[in-house]
C-alpha cells in the first residue's frame, strides 16, 4: 500500500463570523491510499485555533503517517491519538479503499438516494441585518431547525433577533438552537440562560469556555435551558476520562465533530458513554470540504438518529468540490446520479 497527502485551502464565499473571529479561508489536508489499482481518499479536517492537533508538527505527522502506512489502521489510530483530524482522514481513506467508489464510505438508503438527513440551518454571526437575512433565507428554504451563533454582537440585540423569530414561529414550527462558543463569563451565564429559556429554545451549545469543569457542572445542574457540550470534548482522549467528564458535568447533550474528537472511533466512544448516562447527542461537521462532509454524513445516517444534525456547511466555499450532496427542504440529500468532481 502507498500513501500520500496534499494540502488544500478552502475559500469562503463571504467572511464567516464566529466568537473566535472572522474566517476567510479554511486549511484542510487530504490523505490518499493506493492498493492494487484502487484509491482511498480521506480528509484531515484541521481547524486552526480550535483543533487540539493545531501544532507545528502537523505536516510532519502526516508525512510520518504516510511513510508508516504499513503499520495498519488500528496501530496508526493508537499512535495518532493526539491528532484526531488525521485519525478521521485515515479511517475515511481505509473505508473508502474497501468500496468500488472511493466516496462511498458507508452504504445505506442515504447513499442510494432513498432517504435524507434532517439538518439545522446555520446562522453565522454578523450585523443584525445580515443575521436577519440569513434567518429569512433558511426559513424560506424549508428549514424547521435553525442554529444561531451568539456572543458576537450585543446580547440584547441577539435576544431581540430570537424574539422576532418566535413572534412569527412557535417552537412547534421552528426549533431554535443557539451556540455561544464559550462566549459567556461563568459568573453571568446562568442569568443569560434564564433570559434565553423564555424563548422556548431547544438548547445552547457551550455557554462558557471549555475547561471550567466545576462551573459547567453547576450550570448543567441549575440550567433552565438544555446545555450541549461541544468544545468541552476536544482533547479528551482517554476513554476513562471521557466517561468521567460526562459523569461529572452531566450535560443534557453532547455534540460530536469527528474531525475534532477522533473520527468514527472517537465518536462511537462518546456516543456509547452518553447513551449509558441518558445524554442526548448529535453530529456536526467542522468546515470540512464536501469530501469530509460526505464521510460524516454517511456515518451519521447509519447511527439512526432522527434529530436534526449539523451537516450543512458544504455550500460556504467558492472552491468546494462538486458532489452528490445537496441541501433541500431542510435536509441533506445524496443524488446518486450526480458524479463527484474532485480536482486538487
Residues belonging to the active site: 149, 257
**Are the C-beta atoms of 265 and 91 separated by less than 8 Å?**
yes
Residues linked to residue 146 through DSSP beta bridges, in sequence order: 121, 176
Q: What is the DSSP string of 24-50?
A: EEEEEEEEEEEETTEEEEEEE---TTT
Q: What are phi and psi of 144, to 5 degrees?
A: -115, 10
As a whole number of angstroms, the distance between CA 140 and CA 67 comes to 49
Cell of 132: 436577519
As a whole number of angstroms, the distance between CA 257 and CA 263 comes to 8
Q: What is the DSSP string of 245-292?
A: HHHHH--SEEEE-HHHHTHHHHHHHHHHHHHHTT-EEEEB--S--HHH
Q: Where are the beta strands (DSSP E) in the chain?
A: 2-18, 21-35, 38-44, 117-118, 121-123, 145-149, 175-179, 203-205, 227-229, 253-256, 280-283, 325-328, 331-334
As a whole number of angstroms, the distance between CA 159 and CA 152 comes to 12
**Are the C-beta atoms of 148 and 161 separated by less than 8 Å?**
yes
**Which one, of 73, 10, 77, 76, lies nearest residue 46 by Cα?**
10
Q: What are phi and psi of 129, to 5 degrees?
A: -60, -45
Cell of 51: 483543533
Query: What's the half-sphere exposure (Cβ side, CA atoms, 13 Å) at 227?
Result: 30
Longest Cα–Cα distance in the chain = 61
Amino acid at each position: 500500500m502507498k500513501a500520500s497527502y496534499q494540502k488544500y485551502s478552502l475559500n469562503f464565499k463571504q467572511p464567516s463570523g464566529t466568537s473566535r473571529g472572522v474566517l476567510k479561508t479554511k486549511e484542510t489536508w487530504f490523505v490518499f491510499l493506493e492498493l492494487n489499482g484502487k484509491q482511498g481518499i480521506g480528509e484531515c479536517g484541521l481547524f486552526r485555533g480550535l483543533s487540539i492537533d493545531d501544532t507545528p508538527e502537523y505536516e510532519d505527522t502526516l508525512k510520518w503517517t504516510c511513510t508508516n502506512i504499513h503499520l495498519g489502521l488500528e496501530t496508526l489510530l493508537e499512535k495518532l491519538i493526539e491528532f484526531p483530524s488525521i485519525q478521521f482522514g485515515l479511517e475515511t481513506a481505509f473505508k473508502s479503499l474497501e468500496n468500488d467508489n472511493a466516496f462511498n464510505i458507508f452504504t445505506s438508503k442515504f447513499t442510494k438516494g432513498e432517504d435524507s438527513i434532517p439538518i439545522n440551518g446555520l446562522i453565522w454571526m454578523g450585523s443584525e441585518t445580515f443575521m436577519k437575512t440569513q434567518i429569512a433565507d433558511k426559513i424560506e428554504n424549508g428549514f424547521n431547525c435553525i442554529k444561531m451563533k451568539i456572543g458576537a454582537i450585543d446580547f440584547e440585540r441577539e435576544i431581540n433577533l430570537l424574539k422576532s423569530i418566535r413572534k412569527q414561529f412557535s417552537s412547534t414550527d421552528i426549533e431554535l438552537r443557539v451556540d455561544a462558543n464559550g462566549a459567556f463569563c461563568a459568573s453571568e451565564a446562568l442569568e443569560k440562560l434564564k433570559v434565553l429559556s423564555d424563548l422556548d429554545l431547544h438548547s445552547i451549545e457551550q455557554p462558557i469556555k471549555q475547561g471550567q469543569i466545576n462551573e459547567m457542572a453547576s450550570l448543567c445542574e441549575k440550567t433552565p435551558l438544555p446545555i450541549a457540550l461541544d468544545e468541552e470534548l476536544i482533547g479528551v482522549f482517554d476513554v476513562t476520562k471521557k466517561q468521567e467528564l460526562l459523569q461529572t458535568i452531566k450535560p443534557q447533550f453532547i455534540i460530536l465533530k469527528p474531525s475534532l474528537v477522533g473520527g468514527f472511533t472517537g465518536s462511537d466512544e462518546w456516543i456509547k458513554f452518553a447513551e449509558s448516562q441518558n445524554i442526548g447527542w448529535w453530529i456536526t461537521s467542522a468546515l470540512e470540504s464536501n469530501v469530509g462532509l460526505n464521510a460524516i454524513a454517511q456515518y451519521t445516517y447509519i447511527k439512526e438518529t432522527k434529530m436534526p444534525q449539523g451537516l450543512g456547511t458544504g455550500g460556504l466555499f467558492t472552491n468546494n468540490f462538486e458532489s452528490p450532496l445537496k441541501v433541500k427542504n431542510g435536509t441533506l440529500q445524496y443524488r446518486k446520479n450526480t458524479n463527484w468532481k474532485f480536482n486538487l
